[in-house]
Chains A and B, each alone.
Chain A
């Protein structure tokens, strides 16, 4: 049982480069989320998808785009990376109101 699988685990980008973070869950959850975690600031919601075919902005969406490809997959794209996007990114999924399961995280550094 893989749970939530997130790739890559580490990435270094130059300012202005683009990349896509991939996330897939095998728990048949409707809701999926992308968070970033910075020291001392907890988890901040970037985008979420309450169900297949829908996406909504969270607290810090600027500079990011998402795609809910199907029920299993939810990707996060950085079109033009900036140093301020250096962070640890977590994908998560849950049933509405239930336990959230997290991927292993992506440590992104933008230089």
Chain B
């Protein structure tokens, strides 16, 4: 059974600080890695994707991938109250089917 694990939270971070969200996966053949943000009552929307080991930066967001450790993370710098949401990690295997984590609820405190 292919699995994607996330800490359910809630993760509480002060406004302006760095929020660090983590995800581990079980399938060593995984090829693609996605972070989605989901506001309460809304549908998921893509924040970042990463395919290669290392870091990928996009504005305040940085995705980090370590395939040897089967670990992917999302850093949010200068956290804002509008970043409060549930963050879903999704991992694509060799057939590109996505396996989803249960999500981490992030709360940014003003």
Q: Is B100 engaged at the interface, CB distance under 8 Å to the other chain?
A: yes
Binary contact readout B67-110 vs A (1 if CB under 8 angstroms, 0 otherwise)? 00000000000000000000010101000111011110000000
CB closest residue in chain A, given B102: A42
| CB within 8 Å for A102 and B43 given contacts A41-B102, A97-B31 | yes
Number of interface residues of B (CB under 8 A): 21
* Cα(A59)–Cα(B90), bound, Å: 15
Given A42-B88, A43-B44, A90-B43: A99 in contact with B98 (beta carbons within 8 A): no
Whether A102 touches B97, Cβ cut-off 8 Å, given contacts A41-B102, A42-B88, A97-B31, is: no
Residues of B within 8 A of A90 (CB): 43-44
Q: Does B17 sit at the interface, judged by CB under 8 A?
A: no
B: which residues have CB within 8 A of A?
Answer: 4, 8, 31-32, 34, 42-46, 49, 88, 90, 92, 96-98, 100-103
